[in-house]
Amino acid sequence: MTTSDATVRKYDLLLKGGRVIDPANNIDGQFDVATSGGSIALVGKDISPALARTVADVSGLVVTPGLVDLHAHFYGYFGAILPDAHCLPEGTTTAVDAGGSGHLTFDDFNELVIAPATTNVFAMLNIAGEGMVGEPEQDLDGMDIELTAAKIAQRPDVIVGVKVAHYMGPGWEPLDRGIQAAEDTGVFLMVDQSPIHTRPMNEMILEHLRSGDMVTHCYAVSKPMTDMNDKVKPYFFEARERGVQFDVGHGGGSFSFRIAKAAIEQGFVPDTISTDMHRPSILSNQATMPETMTKLLALGMELPDIVKRSTWDPAQAIGHPELGNLGQTAPADIAVLNITEGDFGLVDNGTTQRVFKANKRIVCEMTVKNGRVVWDKNGRSRDDWSSTPPMNPLI
Ligand SMILES: [Zn+2]
């Protein structure tokens, strides 16, 4: 419902009657959320609709901070997608490109994709100077610590980490160079390296990665966390003790229900929930934030915990604690989620390609970015069509 009397209306938007889950502020209950000037103005009980220019009834829905997707692909990678078209309809207001660009290509990425996007887009810089596609990730000569660190130091507002991925050679050079570039600039590193006999997983997570560094694709068949008996290998718990982080990075080949189910039952939940969103992963697995969250809900994680690991925790991981929460004066980035009930099939990938039956599916109902409604699946923020004024007779 929209109104036009601005004189007494100090709020731009009022989301009324939803279940607000804001883990950063320990909020989980029925509250109204009001925004003003692009920021969160108030989360409170029974805020009067008369105070807001636009009121949307979100009762029965879940209101969370805008989702923060720590692993997506908007540049470089062959399946790169446009952030606004794929993030905003899914409640994702902040997303991190995981290594599509390197120090040679970041400026192009920034100009073409990051700057024009409504979505907050951050970047992890690939240690390969050319970025992600094809041979550069195999070319050690193109992996320069100093040039990578210099580019990060030049754009700390946008570059939040270093990515090392897909190296097929025998040694640790790409990873160790990436870690050095991250160390020199005070950022974290995300790694996607499947183990081979010369580069075993236990050595990587116990000896190479630093506290705060992150293994993505944590439930992938290609880097199995569990053994033949579905037991989580002890060194994963040891690495977690050291502070190594484990990110979902669902993707098109990196999420196995068999591994994820066993791991979660044994207490190994992911530190952060992310999509590894790109064209193939969207088409084959609906690798969106709500669908990935749905899978973890089906595997027994609690909704507030899922929300925390999809908002506040990734915001902190990238060093942006102003995001991922609904605190007063925070940017008014909000997701309104519908926990639908029905007979659903959730699909996994990798070598398994199985379906997991579930009776709940999380669907994004509304997305608010900087106080503006940018996705409204059922027109909750709009007046009824019958209020459309008559056509201009002069045209
Ligand atoms: Zn990826």
In a domain, 201, yes or no: yes
Integer CA distances (angstroms), 365 to 20, 334, 374, in order = 14, 11, 11
Distance CA 127, CA 339 (A): 39
Residue 288 identity (one-letter amino acid)? T
Å from CA of 78 to ligand 1 middle: 11
CA of 27 to the centre of ligand 1 (A): 32
Which residues are bridge partners to 98 per DSSP? 124
Maximum separation of any 2 CA atoms in the chain, in Å:
77
Asked whether residue 355 is assigned to any structural domain, the reply reads no
Asked whether residue 278 is assigned to any structural domain, the reply reads yes
Give me ligand 1 centre to Cα 322, in Å: 25
Residue 286 forms part of a structural domain? yes
Distance 80 CA to ligand 1 centre (A): 10
Domain count, the chain: 1
- Tokens (6 digits) for 354: 């199985």
Fill in the DSSP letter of residue 205: I
Q: How far is the CA of 28 from the centre of ligand 1 (A)?
A: 32
- 90 in helix, strand or coil? helix
How remote is the CA of residue 21 from the centroid of ligand 1, in Å? 28
Sign for the pseudo-dihedral over CA of 53, 59, 65, 69: negative
Which pLDDT value is given to residue 192? 96
Question: 309 in a domain, yes or no?
Answer: yes
In a domain, 106, yes or no: yes
CA-based torsion, 211, 216, 217, 221: positive or negative: negative
What CATH number has the domain bearing residue 109? 3.20.20.140
Rg of the chain taking only CA atoms, in angstroms: 22
Calculate ∠ Cα 316-322-325, nearest 5°: 80
Q: Does residue 250 sit within a domain?
A: yes
φ, ψ of residue 315 in degrees (nearest 5): -60, -40
pTM of the model: 0.96
Cα separation, 183 vs 205, whole angstroms: 16
Instruction: Give residue 338 CA to ligand 1 midpoint distance, Å.
Output: 27
Compute the distance from residue 345 Cα to the ligand 1 centre, in Å. Answer: 24
Q: How far is CA 374 from CA 126, 129, 313, 329, 387, in A?
A: 31, 35, 24, 20, 22
Which two structure tokens, joined as six digits, stand for 7? 């004189």
Q: Quick one: how far is CA 367 from the chain centroid?
A: 14
274 CA distance to ligand 1 middle (Å):
10
231 close to 224: Cβ distance less than 8 angstroms: no
Ligand 1 centroid distance, CA of 72 (Å): 6
- pLDDT at residue 2 in the model: 53
Give the strand pairing for 52-57 and 62-65: unpaired
Q: How far is the CA of 378 from the centre of ligand 1 (A)?
A: 32
The series of mean pLDDT values per 10 residues for the chain, 395 residues long, is 63 98 98 98 97 97 98 95 98 98 98 98 98 88 97 98 95 97 98 95 97 97 96 98 98 94 98 97 94 98 98 97 97 98 93 90 98 98 95 87
- Report CA(198)–ligand 1 centroid distance (Å): 23
Q: Which residues form the domain of 228?
A: 66-317
Q: Give the CB-side neighbour count of residue 192, counting CA atoms within 13 A.
A: 27
Q: How far apart are the CA of 223 and the centre of ligand 1, in A?
A: 14
Question: Is residue 159 situated within a structural domain?
Answer: yes
Distance, in Å, from the CA atom of 220 to the CA atom of 218, rounded to the nearest integer, reads 6
The distance of Cα 37 from the centroid of its chain, to the nearest Å, equals: 25
Cα-to-centroid distance, 293 and ligand 1 (Å): 17
Closest CA to 290 of 273, 278, 304: 273
As a whole number of Å, the end-to-end CA separation of the chain is 28
Strand order in the sheet with 120-126: 67-72, 92-102, 120-126, 159-165, 188-192, 214-215, 245-246
Q: Determine the pLDDT at residue 134.
A: 79
